[in-house]
Structure 1
Amino acid sequence: MNNVLKSTFIVAALAPSMVFAQAVSGEKEITISGQGASDNDLDTTDFSLTGSYGHYINDRGQVGIRQTLSISDREGESTDFDGATVGYYDHHFGRSDLRPFVGANIGFNYGDRTEETFSAGPEAGLKYYVLDKTFVQGMVQYQFLFEDGGDVDDNYDDGVLYYSVGMGFNF
């Protein structure tokens, strides 16, 4: 885990040497990603879907909201629903089809199997534009969980690492 955080900070340190993104201030963006898993008998099935809506506040900076819904269905048990809603800021780099970004997020986790708690942390990823306004995206997020401001220092090392791959559109 320390290697992931170190890599994120190295990318952030080298990023200013890259050419800035060609996104236009005021442009909007939506993304969607999902994942699922089942055991070999299909008795246990987990599925999650994440969507985001972002707005470029300048040529490089984007603010937005990201919503995740997770469904867990286990044989003999009720279906559980969990969610997470986070606000984020991402800073984009590059002018080519491959555009890295680094950012931060803060939000709230809730649901049937999730203890209701706040979350926050850094994120980094890559967008690869397959068309002028259409891209595939890979992202990694580190989120630490806390119930109030006093928990932030204590819980920073006890976070969760999330990976996602999806697609998005600018408009």
Structure 2
Amino acid sequence: NHDLETSTAELRESGWVSFCGLHHAGVATQEDMSVPHYYDKRNSPLPDVPYHKELGAEQKALKEKEKGSWKQLSNEEKVALYHLKFNQTFAEMNRPSNEWKTVLGGIFVFFGITGLIVWWQRVYVFPPKPRTLTDEWKAQQVKRMLDMRMNPIQGFSAKWDYDKNEWKK
């Protein structure tokens, strides 16, 4: 526990990380947004810091070679120098991702599960439709309304021709 407190204090003093204590689970780290950090964005192409902060021996040698004439550098070395500063090129950032397939698949899975729930409710939850909604019942209801001559002036029966037994045109 003492080692954790010591390392926490050292990290906090370095300014790179701030800590928030959790209840009993331990310590959660949160990046300090006041310190410059690397990001790849199309709308802001120049990050605050280079992609590789600490260089290896080969990378340091390449940086020394960079100080000379660029005509002596090969294309691979120029690309390697670019990738020391940036993680992705604009072509790599603008390359279409396959994320749309995942989103579309998730939508179809959602629709499928919803359809199964609706089908299950129709079969096992909802009662059968009442007989008053069948086509035969509706036809009998229309015939009954015409026989009773309902609303003969401007209503339902006014649209029926009783001599020809058909709807008026």
TM-score higher than 0.5 here?
no
Larger RCO: 1 or 2 (CA < 8 Å, sep 6+): 1
Higher Rg: 2
Report the structure, 1 or 2, having the larger strand content. Answer: 1
Q: Which has the higher helix share?
A: 2
Normalised by the size of structure 2, how large is the TM-score? 0.18
Structure 1 length-normalised TM: 0.17
